[in-house]
Amino acid sequence: MPQVASADRRATWLGAATAVVAASLLTVLAASLESTVNGPGRRTVAEPLLWAVGGGLGLAIGAVAASWPTRRAGSGALAALIGAGALLVLVVAAYNNTDLRFEDQLVGTLIVVVVPAYLGAVICGAVAANVARLAGGHRRSPASGNSSAI
């Protein structure tokens, strides 16, 4: 098992908490903007797609919050995965379409809403980790003896 500094673990969990909260808030905000986006009498954009955009932005914020201080893309991916679980529960509970069986609704939500949002967040986290490495140099772990202050 690789050694992970406690500061990296804290940053990962902080990013995960940020992903959960931001994804939840932005999903609710996107759902409330549905009438503004679609207009009266028209349904141009489906509600779950708006929820995917809001949730994806929240997951990306959490992934960046975890990847930037740790300079590791894996931290951002883990934070986004935890946030994606919360997003899945929120969207399945909020959509609650009685025309679909629960299994169909769960799989559809996972494929249409959560997976694309998660993949986008992982890409944002990887970009943030690479930019942080370029901007601040690669931080060495305290176990190697050559640690630098952030």
Are 121 and 76 in contact by the 8 Å Cβ rule? The answer is: yes
Confidence of residue 140 (pLDDT cuts 50, 70, 90): low
CA atoms 78, 84, 86, 88: torsion sign? negative
Largest CA distance in the chain: 65
Q: Is the pTM of this model over 0.95?
A: no
pLDDT at 57 exceeding the cut of 90: yes
pLDDT at 29 exceeding the cut of 70: yes
What span, in angstroms and rounded, lies between the C-alpha atoms of 71 and 104? 38
pLDDT at 19 exceeding the cut of 90: yes
Of 101, 108, 18, 91, give the one whose Cα is nearest residue 50: 91
Amino acid sitting at position 6: S
Query: What's the pLDDT tens digit per position in 59-113?
Result: 999 999 999 999 999 999 999 999 999 998 888 887 776 777 888 888 888 888 8
